[in-house]
Structure 1
Amino acid sequence: MSDLCSPTFEDLATRLGFSCAEAGGLFELRSPFALENWTLPVLELTIVVGAVLALIYAIVRLRRTGDPTNLVLWLGTLAFLFIIEPLLYFPDAFGVEEYVDTMFAHNVFTVEFMWGRLPLYIIAIYPLMATIAFEIVRMLGVFRQYGTLIGAACVGFVHHAFYEIFDHLGPQLRWWEWSLDNPVNQPFFDSVPLPSVVVFAALWPMSLAFCVQFFVGRHADAGRRFGGLELVWRTVVVGLLAALGTVILPAPATVIGMGSTTVRATVYAAELILVSAVAIYVLARQWRRLRTSRAPGSPETPAYSNDFVRYFSIAYLAVMAVLWASALPDYFAATDGVTGNGDPVGNLWYTVACFVVAILVVAATFTIPRNYSPSTDDARTRTLSGA
């Protein structure tokens, strides 16, 4: 659809190896063997299968236990996606091109929507990543012990670890291309815009988790059952408020750093460090507490468990490790952060740190007891944490 091909998007598409003017329509199907390289269909299959399994799990849990939290989380991410993504893909059509020029372009994958803008795997990665992060934190009992806000911060931290493994690899393997000159993307952390590292990878899932737990999760944990219409409006509200949260939470960096990229980067980094410090302390403390929570003679309560997330997290990390391994020869041969093919490389050591965090939190879900003994510390912490 050539009338929607802005000069910026056309340039990004050309660098990725396809033509914006010839990119399908509302829906397009390609052969997985005709993509840019073999990593694209592998990534696509991993993410789409994971998202479908997460949806099946959410539906089965709702039918068996009456708990709609997972389903609201899954659908709430899509509500957020369809609020945010069209504005980013078609700023001209929405009349906001003066404020938000094209920030990036995805490469073309097997299943595409919206004239080459939206691969199916991008739709799938929102609910999959959110489910993995939320459920790991939920299995560790953080919401129960520390409340909605602290639990949401932990979700943001865990999501950040899983997502940045993917985020720092994509540009090198041509999964997408960032617009280097767009001020909204500034500053860059190697090949990744720092706003993506902080806002999308940590603050957005924190906002989403807070809304899901506040409007649905804490009520479901208390045994409340919801009607169909009530779940619909709560899901829509979750998507809307999560989108609003992506404006409010990074506001300090946006406002304070308005005239300086350096100041903006500093404030972004400070926000991420704050969320990470809180999450690391809480997750470590909660893991240790659960490991010692079985008091002799105490009544035991079944802990929340999600084996799908436990095992699919391992599968995701294994696939990403293979994809990263395939990229390392070109990564180490890169000059000034650019490979011989002209592709920018991410930060390997930051990615390694994210792998370590992701492996540790997944391992934690395997090493806690499947039952726990309530203690006075539980009641005290819930009282202090509020919701």
Structure 2
Amino acid sequence: MGYSCDAAAERLAERLGHSCHHAEPIVDVRNPFGLENATMPFLELLVIGGAVFALIHAWRRWRRDGDPVNISLWFASIVYLAVIEPPLYFPDWFGLQEHVGLIFSHNVFTVQFMYDRLPLYIVAFYPALSQLAYEVIRALGVFVRRGPLAGSLAVAFTCQAFYEIFDQLGPQLRWWAWNTDNEMINAPALASVPMNSMFLFASVSFGALTYLVTLLTGTKRGRGPLTGRQISLRTLAAGALTPLAMAVAGLPSNLFRGGDHLGIQQAILTTELALVWIAGLILLADAWRAASRADQPPVPSPQFARIYPALYLGVHMVLWLIALPAYFAADDGITEQGTPVGSLWYAALCALAAAGLIAAVLRATTSKKIREPVRS
């Protein structure tokens, strides 16, 4: 098993409290009450339950409402995961050790795949979050009023808000560990979180995936209903092409990777993240104003959009409260348990944005002028 547990992977696994040696190559199951800490099974339940909820909602949107975007987005997220994650876990297998290296390692949760590198909850995280963001923006009517590109930009912003609440907390609670020795990819960072990850994985990936799915499977003038085979092929294409969009979006900062250019790279990534926020806040403000207009066309208001985002935010707020004592007792960004803390101010900003999005959805979908029978 040594080829799946090199020195860097072994070091990260030990930091997380387990060993990567003798791991099961396909799947391993553990006692959920015997994990590294008590927050982990609650995180699994939140994310896996959300993915199941999202799948049920997506299936109903397709079969009952005739809209295949949700179901395509759900499965395109899995295709994207299958393309992007294995090279990150095993860069040697794909000849990427010199170009990428080992970036991070997940802790072991209840169900693990691929030599303990891929937790089931991570598989579920992609469709759960992509569906959360898409449904929030769709319920706000951004896609109807502004089209796929603007809607996808709004999705990128929404994912930034909800993802970074999770991303800034995970390393402290040992959900995963970043390979800090890999400065080529993991620097610069905001507290313990690499800024490349914040921009590319938390925003660009979901925005690009949504744009490709809506472009390929969404309703268009002159295009009739797609067959199941057409939806499947277009779903595969959207998921497989998303990493290419990420590579293109990463070019500006990657041109200044390494050497004495870290400050320039940080400035570029900060600017890119700021643009995500500016575009998202403009579109959110537009959606908030539109909800007050009498001529605003009705947008379906499914239970998923009104329940899961609030549940996701609420559970993460509880998890943050659990983490705060150790956070404030940390010395130079390291807790007494030896784990790095995230950025509290940025997580709080994301939580505020997420709360604003939730409030906007509730306001828009409970308005008398667009009230309709409840859909799940």
Query: Which residue of 1 is the match for residue 320 of structure 2?
Result: 324
Query: Which residue of 2 is the match for residue 146 of structure 1?
Result: 146
Amino acid at match of 1:153: L
The answer to whether the 8 A contact 1:161-1:354 is kept is yes
Deviations 1:293-350 (A, max 9, x none): x25xxxx843122211221111111111111101011000001000011110011111
The answer to whether the 8 A contact 1:141-1:304 is kept is no
Query: Which residue of 1 is the match for residue 11 of structure 2?
Result: 11
Query: Which residue of 2 is the match for residue 159 of structure 1?
Result: 159
Amino acid at match of 1:96: L
TM-score of the superposed pair, with normalisation by structure 1: 0.91
Pair 1:157–1:244, CA change in 2 (3 A): same
Query: Which residue of 1 is the match for residue 52 of structure 2?
Result: 52
**Secondary structure in 2 aligned to 1:100?**
coil
Gapped runs of 5+ residues in structure 1? Answer: 374-387
CA separation in 1, counterparts of 2:274 and 2:3? 43
The answer to whether the 8 A contact 1:111-1:119 is kept is yes
- The reply on whether 1:343 has 2:339 as its aligned counterpart is yes
Query: Which residue of 1 is the match for residue 217 of structure 2?
Result: 216
Q: Tell me how far 1:263 sits from its aligned partner.
A: 0.8
Q: Which moved more, 1:59-68 or 1:126-135?
A: 59-68
Gapped runs of 5+ residues in structure 2? Answer: 372-376
Query: Which residue of 2 is the match for residue 384 of structure 1?
Result: none
CA separation in 2, counterparts of 1:348 and 1:147? 34
Query: Which residue of 2 is the match for residue 290 of structure 1?
Result: 291
Amino acid at match of 1:168: Q
Q: Which moved more, 1:107-116 or 1:255-264?
A: 255-264
CA separation in 1, counterparts of 2:164 and 2:40? 17
Q: Tell me how far 1:250 sits from its aligned partner.
A: 2.0
CA separation in 1, counterparts of 2:121 and 2:26? 15
Alignment RMSD (CA, Å): 1.7
Amino acid at match of 2:363: T
Q: Tell me how far 1:291 sits from its aligned partner.
A: 1.3
CA separation in 1, counterparts of 2:151 and 2:256? 27
Query: Which residue of 1 is the match for residue 374 of structure 2?
Result: none
**Secondary structure in 1 aligned to 2:105?**
strand
Q: How does 1:1-387 map to 2 (within 5 A)?
A: 1-182=1-182, 183-219=184-220, 224-257=224-257, 259=259, 260-292=261-293, 294-295=294-295, 301-368=297-364, 369=367, 371=369
**Secondary structure in 2 aligned to 1:22?**
coil
Deviations 1:203-243 (A, max 9, x none): 11111111111112243x98841101101110011112211
**Secondary structure in 1 aligned to 2:21?**
helix
Residue correspondences, number: 367
Q: Tell me how far 1:28 sits from its aligned partner.
A: 0.5
CA separation in 1, counterparts of 2:219 and 2:336? 52
The answer to whether the 8 A contact 2:216-2:234 is kept is yes
**Secondary structure in 2 aligned to 1:302?**
coil
**Secondary structure in 2 aligned to 1:11?**
helix
Q: Tell me how far 1:143 sits from its aligned partner.
A: 1.3
User: How high is the sequence identity, in percent, across the aligned residues?
Assistant: 43
**Secondary structure in 2 aligned to 1:130?**
helix
Q: Tell me how far 1:24 sits from its aligned partner.
A: 2.3
**Secondary structure in 2 aligned to 1:41?**
helix
The answer to whether the 8 A contact 1:179-1:185 is kept is yes
CA separation in 2, counterparts of 1:278 and 1:372? 26
CA separation in 1, counterparts of 2:48 and 2:115? 20
The answer to whether the 8 A contact 1:250-1:268 is kept is no
**Secondary structure in 2 aligned to 1:65?**
coil
Q: Tell me how far 1:352 sits from its aligned partner.
A: 0.7
The answer to whether the 8 A contact 2:106-2:175 is kept is yes
Deviations 1:245-300 (A, max 9, x none): 111112111124565111111111111111211121121022212212x25xxxx8
Deviations 1:9-34 (A, max 9, x none): 01100111111103222100000111
**Secondary structure in 2 aligned to 1:105?**
strand
